[in-house]
Amino acid sequence: MKSLSKQIQLFSIISTVFVLASCTKDFETLNTDPVKVTSVAPGSLLAPAQFDGMWLITKRAHRLNNELMQYTVETGVLNDFARYEFRENEFDPIWSTLYVKANDMNEMYKIAEQRNDANNMAAALVMKAWFISNLTDMFGDIPYTEAFKGRDELYYPKFDTQQSIYTSILADLKRANDLFNENKPFDSSDLIYGSDAVKWKKFANSMRLRLLVRVSNKSEMNAPAEIAEMFTNPTKYPLIASNDDEAMMKYTGVKPFINLFFEMSAAEFSGSRRMGKPLMDLMNTTVDGRRFRYATKNTPGAYVGIPSGYNEQETIAFADNNGLKTSTLATTLKDDAYPFPILTWAEVNFLLAEAALKGWITADAQSYYNKGVEASWKQWKCTWDGTAGTTYLNRPTVRFTGSTANMERLISQKYIAMFFSGFEAWYDYRRTGYPVLPVGPAAKNNGILPTRFEYPLITKATNKANYDAAAARIGGDNLRTKVWWQN
């Protein structure tokens, strides 16, 4: 078995060459010795990292996040995630893939730096921050400062504290903002913004806003002041300001650049899954116009979810609903060109609404809350104009009045908006406790919705000394240990 750094070095070279040179004819071709990665044009490394990293997060969120957050409930015998049970190697693909992609971005940065290629340096910093933030938010303390030194034969990296990792990636995102320059060349295979430096700058700052809000419970991070600095200087720190700005993987529908759920069997994608009761109940009580984008109707024509955390027989009975059936994932989510988000205008508005509600910025929380809802409806291509939007925002179960009691309502609306947005709903739940999700009677893990993922088997086996030190430091390598930013 190889250590983490050695695996990253090997898999990174293999995956970069394979994706660039064989499977994705639309990406730039690698025309040099595959081992001499430093001779590659830095921008050519961007598309494979975006595509593979996005697919890993989206697929695993469909498998794990959607079950934990009760967007869906698996009724089959193979997956017990709704009952908080996981196979021992369940988290290994997340760990290995995101580290490989982060390493690719680390290499891209170094190559771009050698060429004084500011825009590709900045893009590499943003993508690496996205991959690493997901890793540390899933696992807690992880290898970071020594994780990408396989070329230096450092094969057994130490685990860094989550606080130090956040300090580093937040600094990287701030630096990326300074590096992006629309007046300089930006030659890349960018699949998100088509090498638009202005939109990339907005993405970098919006990612920084997301992560600052995530660590806002930790006074040592000074997040409220950092957020206020960004908010009061929009010229220097522009944020995503429309649906056109959001970081979205807008697939062409032409291979290889397709929504890979399209190639997944209907049974694997949705056949044994039913929509979760909390989501459907929340959307039904608000008469939410996004329901048809998320779910199918049952036999009588209603949107009906099932409760989570029951045994297999009970779950199957809930799904049958006395023959009336229950809702499944909307079939359009499987279309070959269906887009999935990385960071949306809706999310930015909800983040600013929270900042205003808590007094970190001088702004109207209700206005940002309303814009967040509107942005989500428009993201999902639902009718908002006319009376639709006004009617929805004025419903008693939706209306925002500005009091601190509205934190639950804010995060509940954000929960609806974050459907198929990676693991963001799980991160928000662990940070805020919202939305309130019932724990079923068959739930394991002491009835506690998992607060982190366990370290992968290969790390435990090949980097044991550093693993043991990290596990002891965080309070135990289990599903109940809180990560550093949780209260």
Write the DSSP assignment of 184-225 as a string of letters: S------SSSSS-HHHHHHHHHHHHHHHHHHTTT-GGG-HHH
Helix/strand/coil for 303: coil
Give the whole-number percent of the chain exceeding pLDDT 90.
Answer: 82
Residue 24 has a pLDDT of: 34
Asked if residues 136 and 211 have their Cβ atoms less than 8 Å apart, the reply is: no
Prediction pTM value: 0.92
Give the largest CA-CA distance in the chain.
66
pLDDT digits (tens, 9 = 90+) for 434-454: 999 999 999 999 999 999 999
Rg (C-alpha) for the chain, rounded Å, is 22
Helix/strand/coil for 276: strand
The predicted model gives 199-218 an average pLDDT of: 98
d(CA 440, CA 482): 21
d(CA 72, CA 44): 37
Question: Which band of pLDDT confidence, cut at 50, 70 and 90, is reported for residue 251?
Answer: confident
pLDDT higher than threshold 50 for residue 366: yes
Ordered DSSP codes for 378-402: HHTT---TTTHHHHHHTSTTT----
The predicted model gives 206-228 an average pLDDT of: 98
Residue 16 has a pLDDT of: 40
Is 360 exposed, middle or buried (CB count within 10 Å of its CB: 0-12, 13-18, 19+)?
Answer: buried
Question: Which band of pLDDT confidence, cut at 50, 70 and 90, is reported for residue 339?
Answer: confident
Helix/strand/coil for 341: strand
Asked if residues 471 and 201 have their Cβ atoms less than 8 Å apart, the reply is: no
pLDDT higher than threshold 50 for residue 165: yes
Residue 29 has a pLDDT of: 31
pLDDT digits (tens, 9 = 90+) for 2-59: 455 554 554 444 344 333 333 333 323 323 333 345 578 999 999 999 999 999 999 9
Asked if residues 121 and 112 have their Cβ atoms less than 8 Å apart, the reply is: yes
d(CA 134, CA 69): 16
pLDDT digits (tens, 9 = 90+) for 319-334: 999 999 999 999 999 9
Cβ-Cβ contacts under 8 Å for 104 (sequence gap 6 or more):
12, 15, 16, 45, 48, 49
Q: Where are the beta strands (DSSP E) in 307-466?
A: 340-343
Give the whole-number percent of the chain exceeding pLDDT 70.
Answer: 91
d(CA 247, CA 480): 32
In this structure, of 15-29, 175-189, 273-287, 361-375, the range with the lowest mean pLDDT score is 15-29
Which domains are present in the chain?
4-250+448-474 (1.25.40.390), 260-334 (no CATH)
The predicted model gives 398-410 an average pLDDT of: 84
The predicted model gives 245-273 an average pLDDT of: 88
Helix/strand/coil for 343: strand
Residue 263 is encoded by which pair of tokens?
């190639």
* Tokens 């825009």 -> residue: 119
Residue 37 has a pLDDT of: 52
Report the mean per-residue pLDDT for the chain.
91
The predicted model gives 239-254 an average pLDDT of: 92
Choice between 196 and 154, residue whose per-residue pLDDT is larger = 196
Work out the number of other CB atoms within 10 angstroms of the CB of residue 181. 14
Question: Which band of pLDDT confidence, cut at 50, 70 and 90, is reported for residue 254?
Answer: confident
Residue 334 is encoded by which pair of tokens?
């499987």
H or E stretch covering 92: helix 92-114
Work out the number of other CB atoms within 10 angstroms of the CB of residue 359. 12
Question: Which band of pLDDT confidence, cut at 50, 70 and 90, is reported for residue 152?
Answer: confident
- Report in angstroms the alpha-carbon separations of 169 from 2, 69, 360: 27, 26, 22
Asked if residues 473 and 454 have their Cβ atoms less than 8 Å apart, the reply is: no
d(CA 216, CA 230): 15
d(CA 220, CA 223): 8
pLDDT higher than threshold 90 for residue 268: no
Residue 402 has a pLDDT of: 67
Beta bridge partners of 257: 254
The predicted model gives 469-481 an average pLDDT of: 98
In this structure, of 148-152, 287-291, 341-345, the range with the lowest mean pLDDT score is 148-152
* Tokens 């974050």 -> residue: 418
